[in-house]
Structure 1
Amino acid sequence: MARGGRRRGRVVAGAVALVVLVAAVLAWRPWSAPLPTVPVEELRVDVGPEPDGEPVALDASVHTPPPGTPGADADGRRAAVLLAHGFGGSEADLAGQARDLARDGYVVLTWSARGFGESGGRIHLVSPDFEVADVSRLLDLLAARDDVRLDAGGDPVVGVAGASYGGATALLAAAYDDRVDAVVPAITWHDLDEAFFPQAATGAPDAAPPGVFKQRWASLFFASGLRPAAGDAASPAGPCGRFDPQVCALYTRAATTGEVAPAGRALLRRSSVAPVVERVGAPTLLVQGQQDSLFGLDQADATARALAAAGTEVAVRWVDGGHDAGAAPAADDLLDPALAWFDHHLRGGPDPGDDFELTLPASPFGEDRPERLVAEDYAAEVPRSLPLTGPPQPVLAPPGGEPAAVTSLPGTGPLLGATTLVGGAAQALGVLPGQSAVFTTPPVTEPLTVAGAPQVGLRITSTASDATLFAAAWVVAADGTTTLPRALVAPLRLSGLTPGEPREVTVALPASAYRLETGQRLQVVVSSTDAAYALPTDARTYEVALAGDATLTLPVVDAERAGGGPDVSPVLLGAVAAALAGALALALVTALRRRRDEPVDPDLAEVPLAVDGLVKSYRNGFRAVDGVTWRAERGQVVGLLGPNGAGKTTTMRMLVGLVRSDAGTVHVLGRRVAPGAPVLARVGALIEGPGALPHLTGRQNLEAAWAATGRPRDEADLEEVLAIAALGAAADKPVRSYSQGMRQRLGIAQAMLGTPELLLLDEPLNGLDPPQIRALRDVLRDYAAGGRTVVVSSHLLSEVQQTCSHVVVVHRGRVVLDGAVDDLLAGHRQLEEVFMELVGDGGPAQLEDAPAAGRHR
Structure 2
Amino acid sequence: MARPPRKALRATAAGVLSASLIAGGVLGAAPAAQAATSDVRYVDIAGDGGTVLKANVVTPAGADGTRRYPLVVLPTSWGFPQVQYLAQAKKLAESGYVVLSYNVRGFWQSGGEIDVAGPHDVADASKVVDWALAHTPADPRHIGMAGVSYGAGISLLAAAHDPRVRAVAALSGWGDLIDSIYSGRTQHLQAAAVLDTAGTVTGRQSAESRAVFSAFYSSDLSKEQDILAWGKKRSPTTYVDQLNRNGAAVMLAGGWGDTIFPPNQSAALYEKLTGPKRLELRPGDHGTAELTGLFGLPNDVWTDTRRWLDRYLKGTASGIDTEQPVQLKSRSTHAYEGYPDWKSVNADRGKIALAGTTTIHTNVDSGADGGIVFLSSILDQIARLPPVASIPLLPRAWAAVWQSEKYATAQQVRGTATLHTTVTPTKESGTLVAYLYDVGPLGLGKLVSHAPYTFHGRTPGKPFGVGLELYSTAYDVPAGHRLALVVDTVDPLYIEHNPSGARLTFSSPPNDPSYVSVPLREQ
Q: TM-score range by the shorter chain?
A: 0.7 to 0.9
Match of residue 493 from structure 1: 454
Q: In the alignment, is the contact (CA less than 8 A) between 1:287 and 1:333 conserved in 2?
A: no
Residues 684-710 of structure 1 show CA distances to partners (whole Å, capped at 9, x for unaligned) of xxxxxxxxxxxxxxxxxxxxxxxxxxx
Partner-residue secondary structure (3-state), 2:389: helix
Asked whether 1:140 is paired with 2:104, we answer no
Query: Which residues in structure 2 correspond to 1:133-172 (within 5 Å)?
Result: 133-145=123-135, 147-151=137-141, 157-172=142-157
| Structure 1 position 43, deviation (Å) | 0.5
The alignment's TM-score, normalised by the length of structure 1, stands at: 0.52
Supply the distance in 2 between the matched residues of 1:430 and 1:269 (Cα, whole angstroms).
42
Partner-residue secondary structure (3-state), 1:227: helix
Task: Specify the code of the residue in structure 2 equivalent to 1:289.
Answer: G
Task: Specify the code of the residue in structure 1 equivalent to 2:516.
Answer: L
Match of residue 25 from structure 1: none
Q: In the alignment, is the contact (CA less than 8 A) between 2:351 and 2:517 conserved in 1?
A: yes
Task: Specify the code of the residue in structure 1 equivalent to 2:196.
Answer: F
Partner-residue secondary structure (3-state), 2:343: coil
Name stretches of at least 5 consecutive residues in structure 1 with no aligned partner: 1-34, 50-54, 152-156, 200-210, 230-241, 363-368, 558-643, 646-857
Asked whether 1:287 is paired with 2:253, we answer yes
Match of residue 15 from structure 2: none
After TM superposition, the structure 1 stretch with the greater mean CA deviation from structure 2, 457-466 or 511-520, is 511-520
The 3 A distance-change label for structure 1 pair 100 and 414 is farther
| Structure 1 position 304, deviation (Å) | 0.4
Match of residue 177 from structure 2: 192
Supply the distance in 2 between the matched residues of 1:446 and 1:167 (Cα, whole angstroms).
40
Partner-residue secondary structure (3-state), 1:337: helix
Supply the distance in 1 between the matched residues of 2:240 and 2:463 (Cα, whole angstroms).
37
After TM superposition, the structure 1 stretch with the greater mean CA deviation from structure 2, 270-279 or 547-556, is 547-556
Asked whether 1:520 is paired with 2:481, we answer yes
Task: Specify the code of the residue in structure 1 equivalent to 2:62.
Answer: P
Residues 732-761 of structure 1 show CA distances to partners (whole Å, capped at 9, x for unaligned) of xxxxxxxxxxxxxxxxxxxxxxxxxxxxxx
Q: In the alignment, is the contact (CA less than 8 A) between 1:404 and 1:531 conserved in 2?
A: no
The alignment's TM-score, normalised by the length of structure 2, stands at: 0.83
Asked whether 1:459 is paired with 2:459, we answer no
Match of residue 345 from structure 1: 312
Supply the distance in 2 between the matched residues of 1:123 and 1:431 (Cα, whole angstroms).
43
Residues 224-243 of structure 1 show CA distances to partners (whole Å, capped at 9, x for unaligned) of 111366xxxxxxxxxxxx11
Match of residue 592 from structure 1: none
Query: Which residues in structure 2 correspond to 1:179-578 (within 5 Å)?
Result: 179-199=164-184, 211-227=185-201, 242-257=204-219, 259=221, 260-280=223-243, 281-307=247-273, 311-323=274-286, 325=288, 328-329=291-292, 331=294, 332-350=299-317, 351-353=319-321, 354-362=324-332, 369-380=333-344, 381-398=346-363, 405-412=368-375, 421=385, 426-427=389-390, 431=394, 433-485=396-448, 488-536=449-497, 537-546=499-508, 548-556=512-520
Partner-residue secondary structure (3-state), 1:493: strand
| Structure 1 position 422, deviation (Å) | 5.6
| Structure 1 position 495, deviation (Å) | 2.4
Partner-residue secondary structure (3-state), 1:194: helix
Match of residue 593 from structure 1: none
Supply the distance in 2 between the matched residues of 1:60 and 1:461 (Cα, whole angstroms).
56
Residues 417-446 of structure 1 show CA distances to partners (whole Å, capped at 9, x for unaligned) of 8886568x6348995552210111122344
| Structure 1 position 556, deviation (Å) | 4.4
Supply the distance in 2 between the matched residues of 1:256 and 1:59 (Cα, whole angstroms).
35
The two structures, once aligned, show a CA RMSD in angstroms of 2.8
After TM superposition, the structure 1 stretch with the greater mean CA deviation from structure 2, 450-459 or 57-66, is 450-459
Supply the distance in 1 between the matched residues of 2:452 and 2:98 (Cα, whole angstroms).
44
Q: In the alignment, is the contact (CA less than 8 A) between 1:454 and 1:509 conserved in 2?
A: yes
| Structure 1 position 405, deviation (Å) | 5.0
Task: Specify the code of the residue in structure 1 equivalent to 2:327.
Answer: E
Supply the distance in 2 between the matched residues of 1:130 and 1:438 (Cα, whole angstroms).
48
Task: Specify the code of the residue in structure 2 equivalent to 1:357.
Answer: Q
Supply the distance in 1 between the matched residues of 2:286 and 2:445 (Cα, whole angstroms).
24
The 3 A distance-change label for structure 1 pair 194 and 432 is farther
Name stretches of at least 5 consecutive residues in structure 2 with no aligned partner: 1-34
Q: In the alignment, is the contact (CA less than 8 A) between 2:365 and 2:398 conserved in 1?
A: no
Asked whether 1:96 is paired with 2:91, we answer no
Supply the distance in 2 between the matched residues of 1:47 and 1:189 (Cα, whole angstroms).
23
Residues 420-478 of structure 1 show CA distances to partners (whole Å, capped at 9, x for unaligned) of 6568x634899555221011112234443322111122111111012210012111234
Supply the distance in 1 between the matched residues of 2:156 and 2:102 (Cα, whole angstroms).
16
Supply the distance in 2 between the matched residues of 1:556 and 1:482 (Cα, whole angstroms).
18
Task: Specify the code of the residue in structure 2 equivalent to 1:275.
Answer: T
Identity %: 24
2:55 aligned to which of 29, 38, 60: 60
Aligned residues: 473
Supply the distance in 2 between the matched residues of 1:402 and 1:91 (Cα, whole angstroms).
41
Q: In the alignment, is the contact (CA less than 8 A) between 2:412 and 2:477 conserved in 1?
A: yes
Supply the distance in 2 between the matched residues of 1:459 and 1:160 (Cα, whole angstroms).
45
Higher RCO (CA 8 Å, separation ≥ 6 residues): 2
Supply the distance in 2 between the matched residues of 1:462 and 1:96 (Cα, whole angstroms).
54
The 3 A distance-change label for structure 1 pair 96 and 427 is farther
Q: In the alignment, is the contact (CA less than 8 A) between 1:315 and 1:356 conserved in 2?
A: yes
| Structure 1 position 404, deviation (Å) | 7.2
Q: In the alignment, is the contact (CA less than 8 A) between 1:213 and 1:258 conserved in 2?
A: no
The 3 A distance-change label for structure 1 pair 443 and 261 is same
| Structure 1 position 494, deviation (Å) | 2.1
Partner-residue secondary structure (3-state), 1:529: coil
Q: In the alignment, is the contact (CA less than 8 A) between 1:410 and 1:418 conserved in 2?
A: no
Residues 619-674 of structure 1 show CA distances to partners (whole Å, capped at 9, x for unaligned) of xxxxxxxxxxxxxxxxxxxxxxxxx74xxxxxxxxxxxxxxxxxxxxxxxxxxxxx
Asked whether 1:175 is paired with 2:139, we answer no
Residues 278-309 of structure 1 show CA distances to partners (whole Å, capped at 9, x for unaligned) of 111201011011121211111111110111xx
Task: Specify the code of the residue in structure 2 equivalent to 1:387.
Answer: I
Match of residue 24 from structure 2: none
Task: Specify the code of the residue in structure 2 equivalent to 1:60.
Answer: A
2:111 aligned to which of 120, 132, 150: 120
The 3 A distance-change label for structure 1 pair 439 and 119 is same
Query: Which residues in structure 2 correspond to 1:577-726 (within 5 Å)?
Result: 645=523
Supply the distance in 1 between the matched residues of 2:355 and 2:485 (Cα, whole angstroms).
10
2:120 aligned to which of 108, 115, 130: 130
Task: Specify the code of the residue in structure 1 equivalent to 2:86.
Answer: A
| Structure 1 position 481, deviation (Å) | 3.5
Partner-residue secondary structure (3-state), 2:494: coil
1:81 aligned to which of 45, 55, 72: 72
Query: Which residues in structure 2 correspond to 1:3-18 (within 5 Å)?
Result: none
Supply the distance in 1 between the matched residues of 2:68 and 2:424 (Cα, whole angstroms).
66
The 3 A distance-change label for structure 1 pair 410 and 37 is closer
The 3 A distance-change label for structure 1 pair 138 and 324 is closer
| Structure 1 position 107, deviation (Å) | 0.8
Supply the distance in 2 between the matched residues of 1:532 and 1:38 (Cα, whole angstroms).
42
Q: In the alignment, is the contact (CA less than 8 A) between 1:407 and 1:418 conserved in 2?
A: no
Supply the distance in 1 between the matched residues of 2:232 and 2:343 (Cα, whole angstroms).
25
Partner-residue secondary structure (3-state), 2:83: helix
Partner-residue secondary structure (3-state), 2:145: strand
